[in-house]
Amino acid sequence: MIEVVLEGPAKNALGSELMDATIAAVRAADGSPLLIRGSGDAFSAGLNLKEIVEADLDGMKVFLDKLGELLDLIWRYPGPTVAAMNGHAIAGGALVALVCDHRVVTSNPKARIGLNEVAIGVRFPQFILRLVQARIGGQHLSEVVLGAHLFGPEDAVRVGLADEVADDVLAVANKRLATLARHQPAIYKATKLSLRPKMEDSAEEQRAFVEDVLPVWCAPELKAGILAMLGKR
- pLDDT at residue 174, as a whole number: 98
Average pLDDT over residues 59-66: 95
- pLDDT at residue 180, as a whole number: 98
Question: By the 8 A CB rule, do 121 and 225 touch?
Answer: yes
pLDDT at 1 over 60: yes
Percent of the chain surpassing pLDDT 70: 99
CATH fold group of domain 2-195: 2-enoyl-CoA Hydratase; Chain A, domain 1 (3.90.226)
What are the sequence ranges of the domains in the chain? 2-195
Residue 65 or 137, more confident = 65
What residues contact residue 3 under an 8 Å CB cut-off, 6+ apart?
Answer: 34, 35, 36, 37
Helix (H) or strand (E) holding 36: strand 34-38
Nearest to 66 by CA among 23, 110, 5: 23
Question: By the 8 A CB rule, do 130 and 75 touch?
Answer: no
pLDDT digits 0-9 by tens, 93-128: 999 999 999 999 999 999 999 999 999 999 999 889
State how far the Cα of 208 lies from the Cα of 136, in Å rounded to an integer: 24
Question: By the 8 A CB rule, do 180 and 33 touch?
Answer: yes
- pLDDT at residue 137, as a whole number: 80
Average pLDDT over residues 3-15: 96
- pLDDT at residue 232, as a whole number: 56
